[in-house]
Amino acid sequence: MMLNKNHLNKTSILPEKVLQFGTGVLLRGLVDYFIDKANKNDVFNGSVVMVKTTGPDVSEFTQQDNLYTISVRGIENNQLIEEDIIIECLSRVLSSKTHWEEILKTAENPEIQIVVSNTTEAGLQYTEENVLEGCPDSYPGKLVAWLHRRYLTVKTETVVIPTELIVDNGKVLKDIVYQHISHNKLGEDFTKWLDKKVRFCSSLVDRIVPGKPNQEEAQKLFEKIGYTDNLIIKSEVYRLWAIEGENLEDILTFAEVDNGVKIAKNIEKYRELKLRLLNAPHSLLSGMAYLSGFKLVKDALNDEMMEKYITILMLTELGPAIPLDLDLKTIHRYGREVMDRFRNPYLEHQWISITLQYTLKMKARVIPLLLNYYKAFDTVPQYFARCFAAYLLFMKATKEVDGKYFGEYNGVEYPINCDSAGYFKSVWDNHNAHEVVTVVLKNKELWGTDLSLLHDFESNVESHLSNMQMLGVKDVVSALNVYA
């Protein structure tokens, strides 16, 4: 039997309070999850109008009375979590291709005070267009048209919260909106109303939502929950929606039911924690873990030696190097949450996938921590140095085929999907391991600075790289843990 409203005990329809641009799994697995949870706790008591911007067909939602299931799986506080939650907060799903006037009509509803979006990073770009002639192509264009209808009618205060993965996404979206207003000559009075009544709040979202289970897994889930759901999605337990702004609690009342929603004057702390204690260790460890024989992230966490290595790296070298004034308790608590996420038995996260654009990730996420560690302690971060040596070894391409590069370790070939792969092949082809370390560390174009100037870092990386070539990566990692 297909999931429908007959599976619910209640029939009441909540007033529409949120306009959501995007039907993707992240919004459904995070934003709608929070709103649904608040409704079930009798707090927010509002529904979501979802806008589909990728095509005209919304039948997959209407066939299920706009209901879907989130299958939450993972570890929280060392406890295994398994929850299957029917999300009931969607009132209707409209296509911008076929329901544009209906979407604009929602602007006349004073109860809708929240606009949320996730249109991918490419969606937050300015495209010159006439926003009042038919449905605009871009999301910012659609938003301007909607806000203009609101200005002409109810003029109600509105909070706009983009969730696209761009730093200061609220400010970026606001700037694009004002570009459209200028190009379309929508008037000074409209601009004044926007300045006074519309708040653009930057936000940061963090939850792994892999999407629909595979066919075999889905069938087992349907047998367990007692119905078929073509919209079912998987999600990890961890959730974060950090929203930047002040005096928002009266409108964003859903925030009070889950500590995963953070409303703060400045959300830089949450961005830095995610970048430096989730993304950075993922990137820094990927080559070392893969060359140590681990295919999946959770496999490394199930290995006692690797778990110890990762824990010490994160909490004693990366955490203290975060360039913010954070107390150790905050760092350790977040670090433990990350470890729970890494060891999630339900996620098939491959280390080799994390090596995509390895060098770019190292430069953006990892090297700032190395530099800050030296500022704070002026000594070699030993766990970091071994990871960097493994990165250099991973980037040793042994073959090039049609512009694609491959490395080989213990007789196994692997892809090097990095824009710097050609550079590293040239360096390895023309230098011995000792020289490779020197050449790469001195490359200011690669790192933005000369890393060979860091006290003893070069000699330590050289020693670790040499040992990894002789003894193997995993043995070098294990040797450090003996003395930890």
Residue closest to 21 by CA, chosen among 155, 150, 129, 143 = 143
Determine the average pLDDT of the residues in 167-185: 97
Share of the chain above pLDDT 70, in %: 98
Q: Which two tokens stand for residue 20?
A: 């959501």
* Residue 483 in this model has a pLDDT that exceeds 60: no
Whether the Cβ atoms of residue 131 and residue 141 lie closer than 8 Å to each other: yes
Q: What residues contact 37, with CB distance under 8 A and at least 6 apart?
A: 254, 257, 258
Determine the average pLDDT of the residues in 180-192: 97
- What pLDDT does 470 receive? 95
- What pLDDT does 51 receive? 98
Which element (helix H / strand E) includes 139?
helix 139-152
Determine the average pLDDT of the residues in 56-76: 96
- What pLDDT does 481 receive? 56
For residue 11, name the pLDDT band (cuts at 50, 70, 90).
low
pLDDT in tens, 361-392: 999 999 999 999 999 999 999 999 999 999 99
**Which class for 455: exposed (0-12), middle (13-18), buried (19 or more C-beta within 10 A)?**
exposed
| Dihedral sign of CA atoms 181, 182, 186, 192 in order | positive
- What pLDDT does 323 receive? 81
Q: Give the whole-angstrom CA distance, residue 52 versus residue 103.
A: 10
Q: What residues contact 345, with CB distance under 8 A and at least 6 apart?
A: 75, 80, 298
SS3 397: strand
* Residue 318 in this model has a pLDDT that exceeds 90: yes
pLDDT in tens, 275-311: 999 999 999 999 999 999 999 999 999 999 999 999 9
- What pLDDT does 482 receive? 45
* Residue 10 in this model has a pLDDT that exceeds 70: no
- Phi/psi at 193 (nearest 5 deg)? -65, -45
Q: Give the whole-angstrom CA distance, residue 19 versus residue 23.
A: 11
pLDDT in tens, 393-445: 999 999 999 999 999 999 999 999 999 999 999 999 999 999 999 999 999 99
For the chain, what is the mean pLDDT?
A: 95
What single-letter amino acid sits at 294?
F
- What pLDDT does 77 receive? 85
Q: Give the whole-angstrom CA distance, residue 211 versus residue 235.
A: 7
pTM of the model: 0.90
Which element (helix H / strand E) includes 73?
strand 68-76
pLDDT in tens, 67-116: 999 999 999 988 999 999 999 999 999 999 999 999 999 999 999 999 99
* Residue 120 in this model has a pLDDT that exceeds 80: no
CA R_g for the chain: 25
Which element (helix H / strand E) includes 444?
helix 444-447
Q: How many CA atoms lie within 13 A of 252 on its CB side?
A: 27
Q: What residues contact 237, with CB distance under 8 A and at least 6 apart?
A: 72, 73, 74, 75, 76, 81, 340, 344
- What pLDDT does 233 receive? 97
- What pLDDT does 14 receive? 95
Residue closest to 32 by CA, chosen among 184, 172, 202, 205 = 205
